[in-house]
Each structure stands twice: as C-alpha cells, then as structure tokens.
Chain A
C-alpha cells in the first residue's frame, strides 16, 4: 500500500545451499515511519541480527528487499550506521580518531576540515565522552566504548540508526544509564532507529513499537506492539505505571507463552517442544 520511510518487504533469507540450506527468515514485512524508534525482540538465534544486517546491507536478502527513503538497499553505507554489540572500535585509534574516521569519510567534500573537527567533537560531547578524546579503546570501560560507538554512528547522520544489542554486554546499571542517554539523544535528534534487544524492559522503555519475532528457523514477525507511553519516559515512575507493566506483560507473554505454542503448531511431532510447552506453562 502506501510506502513509508523504511520498508522491509517480503524478506526471506536462506543460508547455505542444497540439502544443508537453512531458511532463517521468512516473510519479514515491516514499515517504519521517519523518526520512529523500533525495537526488535525475540529469543536468541531467531534471526533478529540477520534482519538488521540485511537492512544494514551487510547481508543480502535471498528474496525481497529493503527500501529506505525511496531507494533500494543493496550495499552497506553511512546512511545506515550500525552500533555493533561489541562496540567494534578500532583499537589502534584514539576515541577522537575513531569518530573522526567516520566523519571524515562521510562528510569529505561536504564540510571543511574545521567543520568536520567540530562535528566530531560535538557528537563526542553529546555522549559525554569529550573528556577522553585521546584515550584508546583499551583504556576506557565497556560502557564508554559503547558511547563512542554510538557517537560514531550518530556522527554519520544516518537516515536510520541500527543498534545491534548495543547494551547487551554491559552491566545492569551502566545499561540503564546508557538507555537514558539514548532516550535523551533521541528526543534531541529524532532519528529513525531499529534496535535489536532481548531485554523486555529496554524494549518497552525505549521504543515506539516493539516487533516480536517468532523462533527460528523460518522466523517471522509474530506480533507488533505499539507502545503509547508519553515521552520523556522516566524509568522509576514507569516501573509503577500500569500501562508500562501491561506492555511489559504483553511482550513477556509473547516470548514465554505464545512463542512456544507457535513452535508446537509448526512441529507437532517434536517431543521437546511439547515438553517446552509444559515448562512454559509452569513458568
């Protein structure tokens, strides 16, 4: 029907060929508005990262495709910057140089050298890393590395920002802190964001819509939940908010109850899935 800013259309993905081929994704359809924050949630191994990598252009879809702002995605590019789970900073460059590499490459010819420097510093300030410009990644904490990774992705001024479990490797307190930062930055920049997560609270707190994926193989989008909580959102106030808990409950229910039922319907003979339903019901 109507096309939105980011369209993922009938994406299928098969790894391998012939008898050993595994169909990982099936019929992924998703339309995302400009400025929307989407969380993609599902059990590990369900293919969330594959979806993100296809949008990033790091993987090609076997069938179907991705259209961003009217153009088909067929290669990686700075208009779809990625914050990788393990930060992926280049260890031989300083914090400043890591971001500057991206800025200089993206804005060469569009901004002067002084402007590019300003732009780099601005984004490092935005994630509160202005104090550690000359440090190397090995000299800063995991949370700080991820901040720099976020600064690098934001500084490319992407059309869509892709976050691949950005806080998965961090401890709970650091994670909460970074989530707040991401919310603050999001109100400022209003980016279009696609975030992969397996953290229910993170999904509800940050996103406008939660896309829940079924288990693989042949994973697809099971349900989409609109999160209509007013912004700015405060984690402490929300923890006691019935609407918040309702959304949280919906996601948990999908992940821990419905998802197992879908599995049973797909493979009725499998004993282990029957057992899984039992344990799911108990849980």
Chain B
C-alpha cells in the first residue's frame, strides 16, 4: 500500500540520445519537427499577430506612436552599432545597458550579503525577529524611488545613490526568504549536527546554507527582478549613462522610436537576469530537495 502516486514522465521522445541508424534519423528529424511545431510555432504566431496589430493601429495619419517598421528604420543606427562612443552620454545602447547592469550588480551584491546575513539572524534568533520584523515590515513597503532623495542627501553623489536604491529594493525579499528558509530547516538536520557536535561555523556552511538555499534563491530571484525595475526609474532621475536616462533623454528629444527600442532591451535584459539567477539557483541547489 504505497501512498505515493506515480507520475508519468513525459519527455519529448525525440530528445533521446544514441546512435540512430538511417530510418531512426528520419524519425528523429520528424520528432524535432513536431517539437518545433508545438513549442516554437505558438510564440512566433502570437508575436507576429501582435506586431501586425501594432502596425495597423499606429499607421494612421493621426497616430501618436510609430509603427514597428518606422521604429526599425528610425533606430537602425542604434541597432547595428550598440557600442559606439561619441563622448558624454551619447554612447551606444550596449554601453547604456552595461552601465545600468553595473549599478545593479553593485547594489544587488551588497543586498545579497546584507540580506542573507540579516535573514539568517532573524531566522535563528526569535529575539532578533521580534525586534526587527516590525521595522522590516514597514520599510519594505516604501517604494524604491522614495529612497532616492534621502540617499542623494546622504551620499551627495548620484551613482552611490542609485546603487543604494537598488540595494534597498532588493534586500527585503532576500531577508524574508532567507529567514523563512532558516526557520524551516528540518529538526532532523539540527539533530544530526548536534550529534556530530558541529560548531557554529560548520553548522552555518554545512547545514544551514544548503538547507535554506532553495528559499534564498527564490528571494534572490525576486530581488534581482525588483532591482531591474528600480534602476530604470532611478536613472531617469539621476542622469548620466544608463538605460533609464537614455529613455528619459529620448522622451525629451521626442525620439519615440528610441524609447520603444530601449524598452525592448530592458525587457530582454530583465528576462535574462531572472533566468541567470534561476540557473545558478538550480545548479547550486541541485539535490537539495529532500528524498
């Protein structure tokens, strides 16, 4: 009387490895064709339909926004040469994105270090949790940009201020998820560490971090997404090189097509950041799921 239900595994059959002979190759190719048909076709069709709709809506003489064809022709110089440098803030899209990514990297890494440490503290100590939790619950609802004037006043410089905004945006989900992860470490693992007489540092590295890693990484993933949301807004206000200021600058010079292109880049980079953290998380927490 086994209580576990057996889940049928449905792998796409063409993905089997081996040395196929003649007819099998044909079958595999057909399999790949099927796979593409079912997985690549829907997004292509939907994207195409949306572009077409946009083209139709934006093509009228009174239209305020450019259609896709005009966006491409307007921004062709930016698309083909993302890494030009004409001095000042007049640099290619690649540099703009990299400048924003650099700020996010600093702010996010600081948030990871501080967030995981604080999360461990309030996960471990009930006293610390009771003291800090109300503070965190209030502060985490403050919108990222509301911190900007205060940090400008404190740092007297735009770049550290932007980094601080990223930091303060990303830290809350990291703290909360880490503390939940630490709190949920199974009693069994604690008992194992007690029987082995692991000391504090050994317990931290050998039990606590690996056991809480899945929670920590879901916090990191939320945090990196929020960071990327916040940086664009913060850069609009602080100026300098960065994709946020690029958008604001394009608006001021009425280059709507540039804005559309920038939004596309922001979306793609945000998506890649999310996937990157998820990928690292999957690698690190491989096997952590209890069995």
Contacts and interface: CB of A to CB of B under 8 A. Distances in A.
Interface of A: 56-58, 75-78, 80-82, 84, 86, 88, 90-92, 101-102, 105-106, 136-139, 156
A251 B290 CA distance: 37
A107 B289 CA distance: 29
Interface of B: 188-189, 191-192, 194-198, 202, 206-207, 210-211, 213, 285-291
B191 A58 contact: yes
A92 B291 CA distance: 10
Contacts of B288: 91-92
* Most A Cβ at <10 Å: residue of B211, B289, B290: B290
12 contacts: A75-B197, A76-B194, A80-B195, A90-B192, A90-B210, A91-B290, A92-B286, A101-B196, A105-B196, A106-B196, A137-B291, A138-B290
Contact of A86 (B188, B207, B286, B289): B188
Contacts of A105: 196-198, 202
B206 A101 contact: yes
The majority secondary structure among interface residues of chain B is helix
A270 to B, nearest CB: 33
Given A77-B197, A92-B287, A137-B291, 10 more contacts: A76-B195, A77-B195, A84-B188, A86-B188, A90-B192, A90-B207, A91-B290, A101-B196, A105-B197, A139-B291
Nearest to A91: B290
Given A84-B188, A86-B188, A91 B195 contact: no
Nearest to B285: A92
Contact of B188 (A76, A88, A156): A88
Contacts of B291: 91, 136-139
A84 B186 CA distance: 13
Contacts of B206: 90, 101
B188 to A, nearest CB: 4
B289 A138 contact: yes
A273 to B, nearest CB: 30
Contacts of A92: 210-211, 213, 285-288
Given A105-B202, A138-B289, A139-B291, A88 B197 contact: no
* Most A Cβ at <10 Å: residue of B192, B206, B207: B192
A49 to B, nearest CB: 12
Nearest to A137: B291
B189 to A, nearest CB: 7
A193 to B, nearest CB: 16
A56 B194 CA distance: 10
A102 B287 CA distance: 19
Contact of A88 (B189, B202, B289): B189
A75 B189 CA distance: 16
Nearest to A149: B192
B79 to A, nearest CB: 45
Q: What 3 A-B pairs come out closest when comparing CB atoms?
A: A138-B291, A88-B188, A76-B194
Nearest to B210: A92
* Most A Cβ at <10 Å: residue of B192, B195, B285, B288: B195
A138 B285 CA distance: 13
A88 B198 contact: no
* Most B Cβ at <10 Å: residue of A86, A91, A102: A91
Given A90-B210, A105-B197, A105-B198, A138 B287 contact: yes
A58 B191 CA distance: 7
B194 A91 contact: no
Contacts of A80: 195
Contact of A136 (B191, B192, B196, B287): B287
Contacts of A84: 188, 191-192
A6 B290 CA distance: 35
Contacts of A56: 195
A78 B287 contact: no
Nearest to A94: B287
Contacts of A78: 195-197
A57 to B, nearest CB: 8
B222 to A, nearest CB: 22
B198 A91 contact: no
A155 to B, nearest CB: 11
Contacts of B192: 84, 88, 90
Nearest to B194: A76
A86 B290 CA distance: 11
B184 to A, nearest CB: 14
A84 B290 CA distance: 15
Contacts of A137: 290-291
A86 B191 CA distance: 12
Nearest to A85: B188
A143 to B, nearest CB: 14
